[in-house]
Amino acid sequence: MQHKPLLLLVLLSFPVIVLADSGCEQPRGYLGGEGIGLSSGSSSWNNHDSAFRQNTLLNLYTSLSLNCWIGETLKLKSETNGEYLLQSHQPGSLQDSRHTGKMFFNQLSLSWAVRDNVFIDAGKLRPRYGYLYSVSPLDMLRNPHGAFRSVHVNATGDNWDSFYDEGSWGVSATTYTSAGSWDLVILPRLALNGSDMNTNRHWSSLERTNSQDRYLFSYSTTGLSDVTATASLLAGTQQRVASGISYTLNDNWIINLEGSLMQGESWRHLQADASSKLHNYSITTSDHPFARSKHGINGDIGGGLRYTTSGQVETGIEYYGQSQGYSRSEWKRLLRDVAFTNGGYANPYIPVTSSSQVRDVFRLYAHIMADEIDKTGRQGALQGKHYLMLFNSRNRSENRVINWRASAIINLIDGSTLANLQLSSPVREDLEIYTGTSFTFGGTGSEFSLFGEKGTYYAGLRYYW
């Protein structure tokens, strides 16, 4: 089923391609490889199940982009990425296979210039909105990524998820005026997103990108020289409104502010009744402890200040807050349930709780909880209420110049931190080398140390063509 939209787009395009003058630019892309080391520490899953193990591995990856034109009004864009993973040791029970690969068809879109200021796009689309560096309330069409559980392509540092940025099948229309632009985006539901027991990495591409009906109407101003503002309305499976503004103070300073309101929750939360059943030993393998509420109003807000020098060094600070994040008491309940499913269920006064049948049920439940927490992160969501983001980077194109990307996300409630640092250099126009690390700080049970994954260390090279 997931190949039908691609086939339909090709069939609709074929008569136009035959009748019109057409051609393609030279394909662009890159090929690279990374040596990666994984470090892990203490966690409920590691102490009981060896879920996340230390390892060394080789990750090979490639990307291919193609731009074509059909007559004077039609353009075709495509992007396909792939990677293959070779691990030196057997991974943990919640990690990936030892040798495995994936392909990502990120974009295949046909754009029609109806008039000089009106464009219609159809196919696998990647509409993006927002002004913030990290979490953006305006980015309401983001899809969960399908990267491997513990490893991803690190060539772009803390922007690594762009490699897995799969577009959704749909149609969009954009009209430009002297004052701004109007967007209408229609992304229909084409697949169910599989069993609740599966994480996003086990879903097909279509399940990740088109498992909801999404209809977005957006307006952005362009007529004001120093101010750009956007207002968006999302309808369909989820209802949400968002707005944002970017204000350029001068050539160096930019202020960004975004916020949104939504009906219900945008990601699934641990349920109190499921927690009660767990500790009463009344769960079954069909029970799922997480659910997304469709009631009430939730909101999130983000704001930041960014400074850019003439030497292309960018520094910034941002705040992000959300009402749907776990409170302190809710997070403690989640930690209690995680510990209970990872061995805490064994009661020496109730011998049956140490039987293999009981152990298997709770092991499955522990894996379900781990996959659901991972699933939330794959959607680009954070699980707490208040965060501070810091970032600094330099990106220059001269050969043998040292560039860098450094960033940190700090949970202001539990103090845990996720930090990234990368150094890179274009050795020549078609070859880049890089090295870096991502690591976590925080006590056992804090958000960024929950799984015991302490850090990733890598070095690689990337060849462009």
Least confident of 99-108, 166-175, 351-360: 351-360
CA distance 283 to 262: 32
Q: Per the structure, how many domains does the chain have? A: 1
CA distance 326 to 382: 10
Q: What are the residues whose beta carbons fall under 8 Å from the beta carbon of 364, sequence distance 6 or more?
A: 285
Report the pLDDT value the prediction gives residue 465, as an integer from 0 to 100: 92
Q: Which residue has the higher pLDDT, 16 or 174?
A: 174
Q: Which residue has the higher pLDDT, 222 or 238?
A: 238
Give the residue-averaged pLDDT of 325-348. Answer: 92
Report the pLDDT value the prediction gives residue 274, as an integer from 0 to 100: 87
224 falls in which pLDDT band (50, 70, 90)? Answer: confident
20 falls in which pLDDT band (50, 70, 90)? Answer: low
- Which amino acid is it at 164? Y
Report the pLDDT value the prediction gives residue 7, as an integer from 0 to 100: 53
Cα-flanking dihedrals φ and ψ of residue 409, to 5°? Answer: -115, 125
Q: Which residues pair with 425 in a beta bridge?
A: 433
Q: Which residue has the higher pLDDT, 409 or 355?
A: 409
122, 210, 346 from 184: Cα distances, Å:
12, 17, 55
Tokens of 174: 């954009």
Give the residue-averaged pLDDT of 83-107. Answer: 91
Question: Is pLDDT at 5 greater than 80 in this prediction?
Answer: no
Question: Is pLDDT at 198 greater than 80 in this prediction?
Answer: no
Question: Is pLDDT at 180 greater than 70 in this prediction?
Answer: yes
Report the pLDDT value the prediction gives residue 363, as an integer from 0 to 100: 87
Report the pLDDT value the prediction gives residue 58, as an integer from 0 to 100: 97
Give the residue-averaged pLDDT of 162-176. Answer: 96
Question: Is pLDDT at 195 greater than 80 in this prediction?
Answer: no
Residue-range definition of the domain harbouring residue 188: 4-464
Q: Are 270 and 288 in contact (CB under 8 A)?
A: no
From first CA to last CA, the distance across the chain in angstroms is 34
**3-class DSSP state of 297:** strand
Q: What is the CA radius of gyration of the chain?
A: 23
Q: What is the mean pLDDT of the chain?
A: 90
Question: Is pLDDT at 440 greater than 80 in this prediction?
Answer: yes
Report the pLDDT value the prediction gives residue 236, as an integer from 0 to 100: 95
Q: Which residues pair with 70 in a beta bridge?
A: 22, 74
CA distance 5 to 206: 10
What does 263-299 look like in DSSP terms, one character per residue?
ES-SS-EE-HHHHHHHHTT---TT--SEE---SSEEE
Question: Is pLDDT at 464 greater than 80 in this prediction?
Answer: yes
Least confident of 14-28, 156-170, 202-216, 228-242: 14-28
Report the pLDDT value the prediction gives residue 112, as an integer from 0 to 100: 96
Kindly give the residue spans of alpha helices, DSSP state H, lying in 111-229.
205-209
Q: What are the residues whose beta carbons fall under 8 Å from the beta carbon of 206, sequence distance 6 or more?
A: 1, 2, 5, 169, 190, 191
Q: Which position has the token pair 């090279």? A: 461
194 falls in which pLDDT band (50, 70, 90)? Answer: low
CATH number of the domain at 417, please.
2.40.160.10
Give the residue-averaged pLDDT of 145-164. Answer: 92
